[in-house]
Chains A and B, each alone.
Chain A
């Protein structure tokens, strides 16, 4: 059985399958199916119950939130670790693991949750998710290069464990990166179908971290811009175009195995087996100038029709583009169109599992929407699966004129956790 299967099996396997319950929910039969939760409810003293149909299992070979069917909302936060020693860092990760496990099954954080504790003490859980379901919450944790080294010497005795693929990203043409939106020692990606559930997760993790790690930047995203399952309709980005048509889908085990999951890593890098690399880019879109562009230009820049999402070489959304089909004045798929530049055929066949979200942070001082794409991709190696493609896009993609990269992060995402373990355990103990 290949690696990718295990998560699917857990999602759809023993007991009522998640999908059938979702179908039931769609038919209006959604209720609190506490019994099916089994040990989860029994093991947790906190009172909040989850709808069984919208819990993504926490334990597994890989962390959840990667090949999990993309949720609608995201809150991502990067932390700078201020803990002074290795033990303190491990303690933080252990506490986080427990809290994440509770939150992802819709339970409250801690022994006593939001209301069960001492009247003279602040509650353990902040409480804003009471009455809300688990909402398919997933929390995915990754480690930045700066956790391993400050550039001169190793931190937390992790110098020798720094994976070669965890590079410091090169400058790409058109980058306008803001220090306060980039980097970080640890990243936490919380995704859920309810924004309050995602924000609740990051808020509680930040609170647990006080004194040991502080938030460096965080980003809220709405409206997933990728499908990660063939059952999902392709969503639209803020330019109004379908995005992620050619994404790696969770059903495509071979592609996940080839392009997403780390495997066969030896020696000091062995802790990464079953993990992946998370690329995060805050890509501001020049919404106003785009909106003034003729529809024909917009379609030529993207290489697809706006409404149907078909490539300009014809067919429907999922028809493979024909880059050779002649058109007036060159191929009918413009050579500098986004699709032509980003297609695996010109990028050595590499693919990424994209999991981005639209974002809007209100408006800037000039009255323009501060909005765009919070790009998230999971790849087996950023050196082969992100850097060359981003270079080509920044240089040749007609779309680049309407984009500006304002934030950037690269993180090594360790494999999943087994009961009794903690996130990143292999990094410290392998």
Chain B
């Protein structure tokens, strides 16, 4: 990647489309760094040059109009989107970085975000040495999405079945069985947590912790059941059979609703990669601190499930990294392996030891392995979106 403005380097490496108004300020000479300058107004889309070298290409788009604008780099057919930047407010500048091979393209500004946009022909010449561009990334991306979609549906089905079993045991007062099922069934939820969380209404009623509640909010879902199964020693009133039955019934209904809605979700490579990163964030903020399962201490189950979910997304996306981001790929592979080795040390039977059995040193070790993986994982989105 060719970066000449030092202030922009860190952000530009990590991102495809970004706002770097300051970078513009720091590189006053248009195309001083080889980038293509675009000025979008109400009725014009000025492109500083009609030809640039292929490989990594940077477009700096300035919205000089009064409406929100967008910029697209389209393939020669004028249909396939090679790269895009949305939501550029008036007066703002944004960068678009794409990796594209030699060939004919079309640029388009879309002031007001309507219509075909103001288009112009654009050509990329041969890429400088060392900037190989992989063949058909769109196809690889589609395959990744197909695989991941199937995975999510499989997990949701198992979550529905497992929630039913758990709810039966919980409602029937079979505390031993409910405790046994609790952590195992939740793994199906935790593996696809960003998907589940994308439904802002369902997530809190199924997965809210006591501390997340707002005044007057009724507490339902997994952690409500958790507290009743692993009650605090003092100051807690156990749920009645009727209350348990009601909670169990609601958990089943809410999970069914989630399963129904998940069927309509659509993904792209970037959502997969973002989801993987979010799963590691979940580990870093909730699991590694032992806060998620404050009553049951089954955080390591959730931990493993979050890592599983991230790893599946990464593996589905792996073909997109070949060639263009091989070093990142290798790093991710190694860090997933390292983290899994650590988790394996804490396995007990089919599950794990309880989180409060870990020593502080072991928690620190896990935490640093999570950080070690999360850092390169945060670069996955930019790598696959190119």
Contact = CB atoms under 8 A, between A and B. Distances in A.
A391 B214 contact: yes
B113 interface: yes
A332 B87 contact: yes
Task: Sort chain B's interface into a size bin.
Answer: 35 or more
B340 to A, nearest CB: 19
Nearest to B90: A314
B18 A311 contact: no
B107 interface: no
A57 B35 CA distance: 54
23 contacts: A286-B281, A286-B284, A288-B371, A292-B375, A292-B377, A293-B378, A294-B15, A294-B18, A295-B19, A295-B20, A296-B15, A307-B23, A310-B89, A310-B92, A312-B87, A312-B92, A314-B91, A319-B91, A325-B67, A328-B70, A328-B87, A332-B89, A367-B368
Contacts of A293: 378
Given A174-B211, A292-B378, A327-B68, A307 B21 contact: yes
A187 interface: no
A367 B18 CA distance: 30
Nearest to A322: B89
B214 A310 contact: no
Given A294-B18, A299-B19, A316-B91, 18 more contacts: A171-B213, A175-B211, A288-B284, A288-B374, A294-B14, A294-B15, A296-B15, A305-B21, A308-B22, A313-B68, A314-B90, A315-B89, A315-B91, A319-B91, A332-B68, A366-B363, A367-B364, A368-B367
Interface in A308-352: 308, 310-316, 319, 325-329, 332
B91 A171 contact: no
Contacts of B206: none
A308 B21 contact: yes
A172 B214 contact: yes
A328 B113 contact: yes
B86 interface: yes
A420 interface: no
A315 B90 contact: yes
Nearest to A316: B91
A365 B212 CA distance: 24
Interface string B3-44: 000000001001101111111010000000000000000000
A170 interface: yes
A171 B165 CA distance: 34
Interface string B260-297: 00000000000000100100010011001101000000
Nearest to B91: A314
Interface in B314-366: 360, 363-364
A428 interface: no
A367 B367 contact: yes
A-B pairs with lowest CB-CB distance, top 10 = A314-B89, A307-B22, A314-B90, A292-B378, A366-B367, A328-B86, A327-B87, A173-B214, A314-B91, A289-B281
B95 to A, nearest CB: 10
Interface of B: 11, 14-15, 17-23, 25, 63, 67-68, 70, 86-87, 89-92, 113, 211-215, 217, 274, 277, 281, 284-285, 288-289, 291, 360, 363-364, 367-368, 371, 374-375, 377-378, 381-382
B215 A292 contact: no
A305 B70 CA distance: 16
Contact of A366 (B90, B214, B277, B289): B289
B303 to A, nearest CB: 14
Contacts of B378: 292-294
Contact of B15 (A171, A172, A286, A295): A295
A395 B214 contact: yes
Contacts of B90: 313-315
A333 to B, nearest CB: 8
Contact of A307 (B20, B214, B374): B20
B373 to A, nearest CB: 11
A210 interface: no
Contact of B21 (A288, A310, A366, A368): A310
A430 to B, nearest CB: 34
A12 interface: no
A102 B211 CA distance: 45
A395 B204 CA distance: 11
Most chain A C-beta atoms within 10 Å of own C-beta, residue among B22, B87, B382: B87
A389 interface: no
Given A171-B215, A289-B281, A328-B86, A310 B381 contact: no
B213 A173 contact: yes
